[in-house]
Amino acid sequence: MVQILAGVAALVMAASLPVAAQVAPERPGIPGNPSQTGYASAMAKEAQGWLADLIRINTSNPPGNEQIAAMYIAGILAKEGIKAEILDLMPGRSAVVARLRSAAMADPSKALLLVAHLDTVPVDKSRWSVDPFGAVVKDGYLYGRGAIDDKGMLAANLAVFISLKRSMAHLNRDVIFLATADEETGGDASIRMLIAKHWEKIAAGYAINEGGNVFLKNGKVQYTGVQASEKVAFNVAVIARGTSGHASQPTKDNPVVHLAAAVAKIGNYSAPVHLTAIVKRYFEGLAPLEDDEIGKWIRSMDSADRGEHAQRVISDASPLWNAMLRDTIAPTVLTAGVANNVIPAEARANLNVRLLPGDTIDVVLNELKKLVNDPQVRLELQPNAGLAAPPSSLESDFYAVISKVVTQEFGGAPALPFQSTWLTDSAQLRLHNVQAYGLVPFPLAQEDLRRMHGDDERIPLAAFDKGVEVLAKIVTEFAVAH
Ligand SMILES: [Zn+2]
């Protein structure tokens, strides 16, 4: 108890720092049992201060500059008597790792990794109604770049990790805190490099990371999507070539025209539906949660006679569902032209392709070549192609714990296995046999989810508090000896 009180004293001192003070805990001196809701919510209040501080540290990627955020976190851990290690990956770009041991000899196959990334996507400041790095609190929301993606989870992981230490929990497995860099561009400071250089520091059998969400519908949790797999990203250049010349005498081989025609065909293309095992389970669980009409079409998706129509209805109902059912191809960048009165020799487009795990890019490329059917246009796969990872098991003990806790905590709304259309660090972990699950534990409405990577990103503080509590329960149930 003495140590716990000392921990709380450190906590009170930390809260007196100016930055943390804005959203500091109201009732310091809470008993140190993480299974008690009061403690968890005091932790959450403190974590709000860390989240606000992390938002104020601009880690827009590029360039990232994650080292400053890594040092901030190492400083917080040091105050708790936890020695964190800053792992430098590139100049100014670092990850941070810390470990709570369960025994003198670590068993990596049992260890649990709490993962979040330090970097964020950039902002278009002119489109924000508040300072994106000001951590402004307004109407119960904390605004700022990274509030959801992924500094919210970073602060929640930190809170749960520190609460294990403060409560002197008897762990049945090592718990490793990991904050990664360069997640948003997956470049040379990313988890790929971290694994290549420092695997022994983060080796684990299980991980919890971003990737899945607690989905609110009409103010209630509809379900929790626990990410167990993700799509794989590729970029493909569409290159049209022709003869450059004077714009006053147009020619038939103008590459701008050929590129535009090719992009239009590709934009209208819809790849065939391919239900992966996880997506099948997702829709089976979702059908009874939707209204009768949607539920009926979901159930008909693999029927012989109405299947195709049902797939179309479901794809049209939601861009997310559409992208869960098939490979997608999105034209994203167009480049052509040197002057208004010059026909250029080349015009290019970039296609961002997202494949279902198990599908191959060559098949898609061949399909697109046939579709474009223009000898002046060629398709070229770009470097840094994604690597498909095996899905995490839906039968593991950890998945069972996550499902049980979220179902209890969110009023019986079920956990559904989720295959994200977006990428996370978990793919790299899964490639190293880690059973990684994606769950941003904050219940969020569509209205807030769509602000991720967009303008006025924000997190409801009540959702943040709840998420910290839920994450604490998941980790306690899985890693603390009862
Ligand atoms: Zn993220």
Pair type for strands 232-241 and 206-217: unpaired
Q: Is the pLDDT score of 28 beyond 80?
A: no
Q: Is the pTM of this model over 0.85?
A: yes
Q: How many A from CA of 458 to the centre of ligand 1?
A: 14
Question: 385: pLDDT confidence band, cut at 50, 70 and 90?
Answer: confident
Q: How many A from CA of 47 to the centre of ligand 1?
A: 18
| Per-position b or e across 110-144, b if 16+ CB within 10 A of its CB | bbbbbbbbbbbbebeeeebeeebbebbbeeebbbb
Q: What is the pLDDT of residues 401-448, one digit of tens each?
A: 999 999 999 999 999 999 999 999 999 999 999 999 999 999 999 999
Cβ contact 272:326 at 8 Å = yes
Q: Is the pLDDT score of 294 beyond 90?
A: yes
Q: How many A from CA of 250 to the centre of ligand 1?
A: 47
Q: How many A from CA of 423 to the centre of ligand 1?
A: 8
Q: How many A from CA of 256 to the centre of ligand 1?
A: 36
Question: 17: pLDDT confidence band, cut at 50, 70 and 90?
Answer: very low
> 290: which DSSP letter?
S
Residue 165 is predicted with a pLDDT of 97
Q: Please state, rounded to an integer, the average pLDDT across all residues of the chain.
A: 92
In Å, how far are 7, 126, 225 from 432, measured between CA atoms? 36, 42, 23
Q: How many A from CA of 314 to the centre of ligand 1?
A: 27
Residue 384 is predicted with a pLDDT of 83
In Å, how far are 62, 87, 196, 432 from 188, measured between CA atoms? 12, 13, 11, 18
Q: How many A from CA of 191 to the centre of ligand 1?
A: 13
Beta strands, E only, 61-217:
85-90, 93-100, 112-117, 137-138, 141-143, 175-180, 206-217
Q: What is the pLDDT of residues 328-351, one digit of tens each?
A: 999 999 999 999 999 999 999 999
Lowest mean pLDDT among 2-16, 121-135, 431-445, 461-475: 2-16
Beta strands, E only, 218-273:
220-230, 232-241, 245-246
Q: Is the pLDDT score of 4 beyond 70?
A: no
Q: How many A from CA of 211 to the centre of ligand 1?
A: 7
Q: How many A from CA of 61 to the centre of ligand 1?
A: 11
Q: How many A from CA of 48 to the centre of ligand 1?
A: 18
Q: What is the pLDDT of residues 133-169, one digit of tens each?
A: 999 999 999 999 999 999 999 999 999 999 999 999 9
Question: 7: pLDDT confidence band, cut at 50, 70 and 90?
Answer: very low
Q: What is the pLDDT of residues 188-233, one digit of tens each?
A: 999 999 999 999 999 999 999 999 999 999 999 999 999 999 999 9
Residue 39 is predicted with a pLDDT of 62
Q: How many A from CA of 426 to the centre of ligand 1?
A: 11
Residue 44 is predicted with a pLDDT of 93
Q: Is the pLDDT score of 387 beyond 90?
A: no
Q: How many A from CA of 151 to the centre of ligand 1?
A: 9
CA pair distance 209, 186, nearest whole angstrom: 16
**Mean pLDDT value across residues 364-371:** 98
Residue 2 is predicted with a pLDDT of 36
